[in-house]
């Protein structure tokens, strides 16, 4: 899987939007962009994923650059419960393997201030 | 709906003692199964994955082993624990689908192991 680059940490104020960036300049045409988050002392949870178009769900929005070399996870109104480590991961859909394994990087630690 | 169970949630073991962590998935069949470890203050490291009964792939050389005796059961074991085996162990599952980058992993609640 291609590599992603994220800032180590970010801060946000409660009830304000948060934009978490991810660079993936070596992304291939068949790579999906996935976001997971890990709250303290819990396992990671799926947030959102996309291929080319922007995506929205109940948790967040994913904005994908036109050249797909970067993406941004958007939390529209941060709450204290959103404080977590956010991971941006590329998943290859091409190839014969069905292992489905995810390789996590260091992610971005998001702090939310009241 | 699918659920994943992992136990025990917490355990403290002496160095040299054996280990067995168990993970089961309900509500699906033939899932891909994974064991991850997170050492204190570190990132998530993939230890093992399995695409079927008896099929185990190891990602890193280590003191641990994994087994999949049944379709929805995944076990992490050690014969003799080391201090460095301490950490947060996470089991996860996904659907088994060839050429699908959209497959999502669902994680269990984790097992926190302290080796003294």
Assign 3-class secondary structure to B95-108: CCCCCCCCCCCEEC
Say yes or no for a CB contact (<8 Å) between A46 and B103: no
Q: Closest-CA residue in chain A for B39?
A: A41
d(CA B37, CA B91): 9
Say yes or no for a CB contact (<8 Å) between A100 and B95: yes
- Asked if pLDDT for residue B30 goes beyond 70, the answer is yes
Mean pLDDT of B51-73: 91
Say yes or no for a CB contact (<8 Å) between B99 and A95: yes
Mean pLDDT of B56-82: 93
A6's tokens:
């994220």
A97 lies within 8 A of chain B by CB: yes
Say yes or no for a CB contact (<8 Å) between A100 and B57: no
B51 → closest Cβ in A36, A95, A99: A99
B105 lies within 8 A of chain A by CB: yes
- Percent of chain B past pLDDT 90, that is, above it, reads 78
Spans of chain A, pLDDT less than 50: 96
State the DSSP code for B85: G
Query: pLDDT per residue over A91-106, tens digit each?
Result: 876 554 556 678 888 8
Q: Torsion over CA of A13, B43, A60 and A77, rounded to 10 degrees?
A: -10
B95 lies within 8 A of chain A by CB: yes
- Asked if pLDDT for residue B60 goes beyond 90, the answer is no
């Amino acid at each position: 899987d291609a590599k992603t680059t994220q800032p180590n940490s970010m801060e946000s104020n409660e009830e304000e939007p948060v934009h978490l960036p991810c660079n993936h300049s070596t992304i291939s045409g068949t790579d999906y962009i996935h976001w997971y988050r890990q709250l303290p002392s819990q396992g990671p949870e799926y947030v959102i994923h996309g291929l080319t178009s922007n995506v929205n769900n109940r948790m967040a929005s994913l904005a994908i650059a036109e050249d797909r070399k970067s993406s941004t996870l958007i939390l529209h109104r941060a709450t204290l419960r959103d404080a977590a480590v956010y991971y941006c991961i590329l998943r290859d859909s091409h190839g014969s393997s069905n292992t489905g394994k995810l390789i996590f990087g260091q992610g971005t630690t998001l702090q939310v201030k009241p | 709906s699918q659920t994943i169970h992992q136990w025990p949630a917490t355990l403290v073991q002496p160095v040299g003692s054996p280990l067995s962590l168990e993970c089961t998935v309900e509500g699906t069949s033939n899932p891909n199964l994974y064991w991850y470890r997170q050492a204190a203050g570190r990132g998530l490291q993939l230890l093992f994955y399995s695409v079927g009964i008896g099929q185990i792939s190891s990602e890193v050389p280590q003191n641990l082993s994994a087994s999949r005796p049944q379709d929805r059961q995944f076990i992490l074991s050690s014969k003799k624990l080391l201090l460095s085996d301490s950490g947060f162990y996470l089991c996860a599952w996904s659907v088994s689908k060839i050429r699908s980058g959209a497959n999502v992993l669902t994680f269990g609640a984790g097992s926190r192991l302290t080796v003294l």
